[in-house]
Amino acid sequence: EAEVHRKEEYDAAVRIQSWYRGIRTRSLVKNLNRCAIRIQRHYRGFMGRRRIRAILIDSVKRMCLDHYNKQAAQIQKMWRGFYVRKYVFDYYSRKKYLESLVAKNEMIRSELAEQEEAMRREARKREEEETRRRLRAWAERHHYLVSTVVQPSVFNSPYRPFTLPEETLLLNTRPKTPPKVASVGHGFDPSWRQYGQNQLMVRLPSKLPPLPAKPQGPFRQPEEVRAQRYREFQPSLRVATDYEAYGHLAYGNAHFREVQPERHVTQDRFRTIVPPVPVFDKLNAEYVEGYVEN
Amino acid sequence: MSQRQVLQVFEQYQKARTQFVQTVAELATRPQNIETLQNAGVMSLLRPLLLDIVPTIQQTAALALGRLANYNDELAEAVVKGDILPQLVYSLAEQNRFYKKAAAFVLRAVAKHSPELAQAVVDCGALDALVICLEEFDPGVKESAAWALGYIARHSAELAQSVVDAGAVPLLVLCVQEPDLSLKRIAASALSDISKHSPELAQTVVDAGAIAHLAQMVLNPDAKLKRQVFSALAQMAKHSVDLAEMVVEAEIFPAVLTCLKDPDEYVRKNCATLIREVAKHTPELSQLIVNAGGVAAMVDFVGDSRGNVRLPGVMMLGYVAAHSENLAMAIIVSRGVLGLDAVLQTEPEDHIQAAAAWSLGQIGRHSPEHAKSVAQANVLPKLLRAYLRPDVSEDLQIKSKKALKHILQKCVHLEALEPLLQEAPPNILKHVVAQFSKVLPHNPKSRRLFVTSGGLKKIQEIRAEPGSALAEYINTINNCYPEEIVKYYSPGYSDALLERIENYLPQV
């Protein structure tokens, strides 16, 4: 019977031992778990606190920035309101601007009206001048329509009670002869006495005489040559004076070199301090004996 | 036969040729002869005379050809088909100035009719020859060459580009400085034709220094010259802000305002076009013009001119007002609204009325002040009538509707709105009633006025779908008044009262 109980006791002992072993391992594992958890707990706390710190720093920074931004926005808001009220939408200055604009408009309008008036006057004057010119040109060319004593003209018809204004116009304008046909240009004739006028330059021949076959250069400029060739005649005073100019004064003949011995005070020569010089006596005689007659 | 007799035959022939060509040239000046000449085959006869030995016959033949080609485009095409152009271009380089003038005249006469003909002229290599002609001394030759170039460049941007590529622009600018008046005119018109097509072409012309010289001629007494100068400056200024600023920097204001009063109406029109093109780009440019007194001058111009001439003036006022409310107020203060009102009333043409309606809309849409000034000028009924007339163009309808809408959205001046209650169609009525519903709840005096003037009655007569914005506005207005008054004015109230009489049992 002990054998029977041995198994039971053996089983019981094993059961107790297994339970005890279970307890021991469980407690060991629990301890280990607890340690591990503790370590992990501390570690997690550490990491979390670190992260929180970073987040905290970040959020504090952001809060500071927000604060500064808000303050800055406040300043800008106030400045913008001030600026706009003072400069952009300044009611009084706008009113003044509009008033000054009205004044300026009036000024411009009056100036423009003046200028327009001036332009119109100008245009009218030009028109009047034009009509006057045309009438004068007509009158100058139609002088033959003037009425004579014998034959009244179209404008002075005897069947009409009054004369037409064209008649007075024709009478008052000086008739213009038709322009002379320009003759072929003469060469310069030195015997012409019409120096002093510049008509020489007008009457130049259209072609200069042809050059010889072998030209000898260098030539002066054709304008220089022409000016020299057709230079104005510059006479001396003697040539320019008319032959009969001093007709009443008998120039160049006896009167100017005349000697009137009967009016001399005495027939003697003047007494000289110096003895007479024979050469002077000779010179005092006439150039040609008998040349000058009294 | 003796030598003299032989030579006599030739002389006779030459005399006959000269006489023929001179008579043809003379006949070609009158339009009624040209048909007969064409039927007689004058083209084929004139063509060999262009190659004649005698220079006078060549010149007169070219002149006759030019006059024929000038008349209509069939003859011009015949000139092109007859292969005459290459010959002309070739001799353009060699002959004397009379021939050059006549040849340039022929080229101009051919090129003026259509872009294809102008392209044919360009294809013959005429551009280089014409540009060489521009370097001549004789102003007549330069004038013909510049005229031909202008006509070529007028048709399209490619042709204008080819003219510019031939190097014509600096020479044209030189021509503008010449003392000869007709040459100045033609050169200015050629520059205007070149620069009108695109900003690059205008930039090329400006780079050649054209603006300074054109600006100097603004005060020239000759009217035709001023037309061309203003047209050229306007074409240059219209493309971009930079070009407009360069035109303004040439100090044309305020001298330009004088020309708004010129006796010649095309000078005035082109001057107004120039001011419009400058004003439309930026508010600063418009401000510049307003400060120089340009608005007053423009309002006077719009008042004095009639017809198409005043269209640029009207548009300029609209552009200036569109930039900012400051400028719109400046226009109102310079009596611009009255001027535009006169245009709207008196002009028969639709497009000018449309422009006036648009400008009024731009003036009135900025603020209640602006809308009030516009409305006080009694403009709104006219805009409404312009919108409702059955025979108007679509453009006028759209513009007047938009203008009405803009002005109504800001208008709180109720006396001006009341006439609109009578006549307006539903889409306009919506805005009118909206404005009433904005003002009436706050202003007792206006409420009383509204009732006494019969406005409340009109409101009751309006039938609106429930739930639409119109019904909401009507509700708002009705809520401003006590029940009895609303009922009193509602339609059919007298019938309702009479019904009550029938149902009433007298209490004796």
**DSSP string spanning B104-170?**
HHHHHHHHTS-HHHHHHHHHTTHHHHHHHHTTSS-HHHHHHHHHHHHHHHHS-HHHHHHHHHTTHHH
* Count of domains forming chain A: 2
Q: Would A169 be classed as within a structural domain?
A: yes
For residue A288, the model assigns a pLDDT of: 53
Q: Would A128 be classed as within a structural domain?
A: no
CB contact under 8 A, B263 and A119: yes
Of A160, A175, A190, the one marking the end of a domain is A175
- Asked if residues A108 and B297 have their Cβ atoms less than 8 Å apart, the reply is yes
Burial of A26 (0-12, 13-18, 19+ CB in 10 A): exposed
Q: Would A63 be classed as within a structural domain?
A: yes
CB contact under 8 A, B257 and A112: yes
Of A89, A111, A130, the one marking the end of a domain is A89
CB contact under 8 A, B293 and A107: yes
CB contact under 8 A, B295 and A112: no
Mind telling me how many Å the CA of A113 is from chain B's nearest CA?
Answer: 8
Mind telling me how many Å the CA of B319 is from chain A's nearest CA?
Answer: 19
Mutant choice from A93, A95, A98, A101 vs B, greatest count of B C-beta within 10 A: A101
| B48 interfacial to chain A (CB closer than 8 Å) | no
The amino acid at residue B459 is I
**Which of B221, B258, B295 comes nearest A105 by C-beta?**
B295
One domain, residues A80 and A146 = no
For residue B468, the model assigns a pLDDT of: 80
Give the DSSP letter of residue A232.
P
CB contact under 8 A, A123 and B263: yes
Side-chain half-sphere exposure of B26, counting CA atoms within 13 A = 6
Residues of A in contact with B330 (CB under 8 A): 98, 101
**Which of B261, B296, B333 comes nearest A98 by C-beta?**
B333
| B291 interfacial to chain A (CB closer than 8 Å) | yes
Residues of A in contact with B369 (CB under 8 A): none
Each residue's pLDDT, cut to its tens digit, for chain B (508 residues) gives 588 888 999 999 999 999 999 999 999 888 888 888 888 888 888 888 888 888 889 899 999 999 998 888 888 888 888 888 888 888 888 778 888 999 999 999 999 999 999 999 999 899 999 999 899 889 999 999 999 999 999 999 999 999 999 999 999 999 999 999 999 999 999 999 999 999 999 999 999 999 999 999 998 889 999 999 999 999 999 999 999 999 999 988 888 998 888 888 999 999 999 999 999 999 999 999 999 999 999 999 999 998 899 999 999 999 999 999 889 999 999 999 999 999 998 988 889 999 999 999 999 999 999 999 999 998 888 888 888 888 888 899 999 999 999 998 888 888 888 888 888 888 888 888 888 888 888 888 888 888 888 888 888 887 777 778 888 888 888 888 888 888 888 777 778 888 888 888 777 6
Mind telling me how many Å the CA of B135 is from chain A's nearest CA?
Answer: 27
Q: Would A239 be classed as within a structural domain?
A: no
Residue ranges making up the domain that contains A49: 6-89
Chains A and B form CB pairs within 8 A to the count of 47
One domain, residues A85 and A146 = no
One domain, residues A83 and A10 = yes
| B373 interfacial to chain A (CB closer than 8 Å) | no
Q: Which residue of A has its CA nearest to B291?
A: A101
Q: Would A200 be classed as within a structural domain?
A: no
Q: Which residue of A has its CA nearest to B335?
A: A102
- Asked if residues B145 and B166 have their Cβ atoms less than 8 Å apart, the reply is no
Q: From B191, B201, B177, B183, select the one nearest B229 (Cα to Cα).
A: B191
Distance, in Å, from the CA atom of B285 to the CA atom of B244, rounded to the nearest integer, reads 8
Residue B481: CB partners within 8 Å, gap ≥ 6?
B447, B451, B456
Q: From B351, B355, B343, B333, select the one nearest B403 (Cα to Cα).
A: B355
| B219 interfacial to chain A (CB closer than 8 Å) | no
Q: Would A190 be classed as within a structural domain?
A: no
Q: In the numeric block, which tokens belong to residue A216?
A: 């000898």
Q: Which residue of B has its CA nearest to A108?
A: B293
| A102 interfacial to chain B (CB closer than 8 Å) | yes
Q: Which residue of B has its CA nearest to A120?
A: B263
Residues of B in contact with A123 (CB under 8 A): 263
ipTM more than 0.85? no
Q: In the numeric block, which tokens belong to residue A288?
A: 């040609």
Q: Would A155 be classed as within a structural domain?
A: yes
pTM score of the predicted model = 0.71
For residue A188, the model assigns a pLDDT of: 60
Q: Would A222 be classed as within a structural domain?
A: no
Q: From B365, B358, B349, select the one nearest B383 (Cα to Cα).
A: B358
Distance, in Å, from the CA atom of B135 to the CA atom of B153, rounded to the nearest integer, reads 19
- Tens digits of per-residue pLDDT, A61-85? 999 999 999 999 999 999 999 998 8
| B55 interfacial to chain A (CB closer than 8 Å) | no
Q: In the numeric block, which tokens belong to residue A119?
A: 């332009």
CB contact under 8 A, A105 and B334: yes
Residues of B in contact with A119 (CB under 8 A): 261-263
Residue B320: CB partners within 8 Å, gap ≥ 6?
B279, B286, B289, B290, B295, B327, B328, B330, B331
Residues of A in contact with B296 (CB under 8 A): 104-106, 108-109
Domain architecture of chain B: domains with CATH: 10-166 (1.25.10.10), 432-491 (no CATH)
CB contact under 8 A, B263 and A120: yes
CB contact under 8 A, B260 and A112: yes
| B68 interfacial to chain A (CB closer than 8 Å) | no
